[in-house]
Structure 1
Amino acid sequence: MFDIIGLGCSAVDYLGIVPHMPEIDTKMPIEDFTRQGGGVTATAMVAAARLGAKAAFIGAVGDDDLGDFTVRELEREGVDTSHVVRVPDASSQFSFIMVDKATGKRTILWTRSDILPLDPAALDRDFITSCKVLHIDRHEVPAAIQAAKWVHESDGIVAMDAGTYAPDVDDLLPLVDVLIASHAFATDFTGDPDPAGSARALLHDRRIAGVTCGDKGSWFATSAGDEFHVPAIVPPDPPGVVDTTGAGDVFHGAFSFGLAKGWAPRRCARFASAVASLKCTQLGGRAGIPTYSQAHHLLASASPDQ
Structure 2
Amino acid sequence: MSSDHGLPIPENRIIVGFGGVGVDLLATVATFPKPDSKNRTTDFMVQGGGNTGNALTCAARLGLKPRIISKIANDPQGRALVEELEAEGIDTSFIVISKEGTTPFSYIIIDNQTKTRTCIFTEGYPKMIPEDLPRSSLLSALDGAKLAYFDVRMPETAVFIAHEAFIRKIPILVDVERPREGLYELLPLTDYLICSEKFPQAWTGASTIPRALVSIMVKLPRLKFVIVTLGKDGCIMLEQHTDESPLLEEVDIDSTLESLAKGKDHSTTMPTSIALDVTRYTAEGIGSVYGRLYIGTAKKIPESEIIDTTGAGDAFVGAILYAICANLDPRIMLSLASYVAAANCKALGARKGLPYRTEPYVASFAPRW
Q: Confirm or deny a common fold (TM above 0.5).
A: yes
2:176 partner amino acid = A
2:105 pairs with 89, 94, 115, which one?
A: 94
Q: Distance in 2 between matches of 1:295 and 1:166?
A: 39
The answer to whether the 8 Å contact 2:70/2:128 transfers is no
1:196 partner amino acid = P
* 1:19 equivalenced with 2:30 (yes/no): yes
Matched residue, 1:213: 230
2:65 partner amino acid = K
* 1:232 equivalenced with 2:298 (yes/no): yes
Secondary structure of the equivalent of 2:298? coil
* 1:184 equivalenced with 2:184 (yes/no): no
CA-based RMSD of the aligned residues comes to 2.0
Are residues 137 and 22 of structure 1, via their aligned partners in 2, closer, same or farther at CA, if it must alter by over 3 Å?
same
Q: What are structure 1's unaligned runs of at least 5 residues? A: 301-306
Q: Distance in 2 between matches of 1:69 and 1:201?
A: 43
> How far off its partner does 1:207 sit?
0.4
* 1:292 equivalenced with 2:357 (yes/no): yes
Question: Structure 1 length as normaliser, TM-score?
Answer: 0.91
Q: Distance in 2 between matches of 1:279 and 1:285?
A: 7
> How far off its partner does 1:184 sit?
2.3
Q: Distance in 2 between matches of 1:90 and 1:57?
A: 20
Secondary structure of the equivalent of 1:292? coil
The answer to whether the 8 Å contact 1:45/1:79 transfers is yes
The answer to whether the 8 Å contact 1:274/1:295 transfers is no
Q: Distance in 2 between matches of 1:160 and 1:295?
A: 30
* 1:251 equivalenced with 2:316 (yes/no): yes
Q: What are structure 2's unaligned runs of at least 5 residues? A: 1-11, 242-290
Q: Distance in 2 between matches of 1:287 and 1:126?
A: 30
* 1:7 equivalenced with 2:26 (yes/no): no
Are residues 294 and 102 of structure 1, via their aligned partners in 2, closer, same or farther at CA, if it must alter by over 3 Å?
farther
Q: Distance in 2 between matches of 1:295 and 1:282?
A: 18
Matched residue, 2:9: none
Tell me the alpha carbon deviations over residues 38-76 of structure 1, each in whole angstroms, 9 at most, x when there is no partner. Answer: 000111000000111111111000111111011111001
The answer to whether the 8 Å contact 2:343/2:354 transfers is yes
> How far off its partner does 1:96 sit?
0.7
> How far off its partner does 1:167 sit?
4.1
Q: Distance in 1 between matches of 2:143 and 2:214?
A: 29
The answer to whether the 8 Å contact 2:101/2:126 transfers is yes
2:326 pairs with 261, 270, 283, which one?
A: 261
> How far off its partner does 1:298 sit?
8.8
1:132 pairs with 130, 136, 146, which one?
A: 146
Matched residue, 2:265: none
Q: Distance in 2 between matches of 1:167 and 1:36?
A: 28
